[in-house]
Amino acid sequence: MEENREVKPVRRRRHSAAFKAEAVRACMHPGVSIAAVALHYRLNANLLRRWVTDHEPQQSDAIIPSDKPMPIKQAEFVPLQLDLPDTAASTPDIVIEIRRGAAMVTVRWPASAAAECATWLQGWLR
């Protein structure tokens, strides 16, 4: 038989205004996620998100007046000179390693003459 156990209600925690402000300030740092801050303070991320959302209108009104546009500085054009390597010099050689018994032969062929390398290899393999 199962015992009847009384389920106790979960008591909600209450957080002080100073604690809320500290948690919200921690969320305002660049590159910090609300989820990470919530884990650190042992809070539900949705609750912390609500605190941040409630705090944002108070903070944004004090920082940027809505009737004045923000000045945007135009980016300057900076020319760059690229030193591109010569394509023939940057192409690696064709390297063929052939083993017969205990002997090993390595053949290096310029990549610019790949067709000639293929012809030579076909003749050698016959």
Q: Residue 61: its pLDDT value, please?
A: 45
Q: Residue 93: its pLDDT value, please?
A: 86
The residues spanned by each domain of the chain are: 17-63, 92-125
Tell me the C-alpha distance between 12 and 6, whole Å. Answer: 19
Tell me the C-alpha distance between 116 and 120, whole Å. Answer: 6
Which residues, including other chains, have CB under 8 Å from residue 41's CB and lie 6 or more apart?
19, 23, 26, 48
pTM of the predicted model, to two decimals? 0.40
For the stretch 14-33, pLDDT in tens is: 899 999 999 999 888 888 88
Tell me which residues of the chain have a pLDDT lower than 70: 1-3, 57-78, 80, 82-90
